[in-house]
Structure 1
Amino acid sequence: MKVLLSLLALSLSLALCSGACTTHTKEAEMKNGKLVAPEGCVDPYNGEKHELGEAWNTIDCLKCECGKEEVECCLRYPAVTSFPGCAVTLDSEKCSYLVHEIGDPSKPCTPEA
C-alpha cells in the first residue's frame, strides 16, 4: 500500500510541477514591400511550420505553442529521480517517463517503501 501511495504522490507532483519555458520571437516578413507579422510559426528545433494558435510536441518532448508574437516552448515534466534498482527512461513518442527495472524496460519497477 505504501508503494502505491508513493507512486500516486510522484504522479501528482509531476502533474502539478511546471517546467521551464523559453520564448522565441517571431521575425517580421516582407510581403508586397511591407514588413508584416508572420501568419504562423516555425519550430525553433526542427524548422517545421505551424499555424497560429497551434500547440505541438518537439522530439525532446517540449510543448511549444504558436502565439502572435512568439513561439513558447516549455518542459512538459521536471526531471525524474530514479529509485534504487530502477531506471527512468523518457518515451519520446508518448512524452512520458517509464520507470522500469534496470536492464529490463519491459518490467515496471516498484520502488521499495
Structure 2
Amino acid sequence: MKFLLSLAAICMTLGLCWGFCAYIPSKGKQVDGRWVPSDECLDMYDGVSHPIGSTWNSSHCMRCSCLDIGMRCCSRYGPSYREGCKAIMDWEACEYKFYKLEDISQPCSP
C-alpha cells in the first residue's frame, strides 16, 4: 500500500512539472450601463484577436483557447533530458531537439 501511495505522489509531481497554464479573464465592457462580455480574446503572445470558441497555437509554443470567461494558454512542451545530449528548443516545431554534448552540430540518436 505504501508503494502505491508513493507511486501516486511521484506521478502527480511529474504531471505538475511537465507543463504550465496561464489564464487571463475576459475584459468585457460597459454598454448602456450594462456589462457586456467580450466576443473575442486577444492573444497575449501574438497580439492577434480570436473569436470565442476558437483554439490555436501561439508563436510561443502555447496551446490557447478563447472562452466566454477568458483565455487559457498551456505549454505544448516540457523539460527534457537525455544522457550525453543537450536539449535545444525548436520553436518552429515546438519540441526539443537533442544534440551531442561534445559536438552540438551532431544530433543524438533517439
Question: What is the TM-score normalised by the length of structure 2?
Answer: 0.69
Shift of residue 31 of structure 1? Answer: 4.1
Question: In the alignment, residue 92 of structure 2 is paired with which amino acid?
Answer: E
Q: In the TM superposition, what whole-angstrom CA distance separates every residue of 1:60-111 from its partner, at most 9, and x where no partner exists? A: 2111111110111111121112431x2211111121221123421xx43037
In 2, Cα distance between equivalents of 1:57 and 1:82: 26
Match in the other structure for 1:8: none
In 1, Cα distance between equivalents of 2:32 and 2:77: 43
Listed as ranges, the gaps of 5+ residues in structure 1 are 1-16
| Identical positions, percent | 29
Instruction: Establish whether residue 95 from structure 1 lines up as the match of residue 94 from structure 2.
Output: yes
Question: In the alignment, residue 87 of structure 2 is paired with which amino acid?
Answer: V
What RMSD, in angstroms, separates the aligned Cα atoms of the two structures? 2.4
Question: In the alignment, residue 77 of structure 1 is paired with which amino acid?
Answer: Y
Paired residue secondary structure (1:35): strand
Q: How does 1:47-86 map to 2 (within 5 A)?
A: 47-84=47-84, 86=85
In 2, Cα distance between equivalents of 1:108 and 1:20: 28
In 1, Cα distance between equivalents of 2:48 and 2:33: 25
Listed as ranges, the gaps of 5+ residues in structure 2 are 1-14
The higher-RCO structure (CA 8 Å, 6+ apart) is: 1
Question: After TM superposition, where is structure 1 displaced by more than 3 Å over at least 4 residues in a row?
Answer: 30-34
Paired residue secondary structure (1:74): strand
Shift of residue 27 of structure 1? Answer: 0.6
Tell me the matched-pair count.
Answer: 93
Instruction: Establish whether residue 29 from structure 1 lines up as the match of residue 29 from structure 2.
Output: yes
Q: In the TM superposition, what whole-angstrom CA distance separates every residue of 1:7-43 from its partner, at most 9, and x where no partner exists? A: xxxxxxxxxx562111110111244564211111111
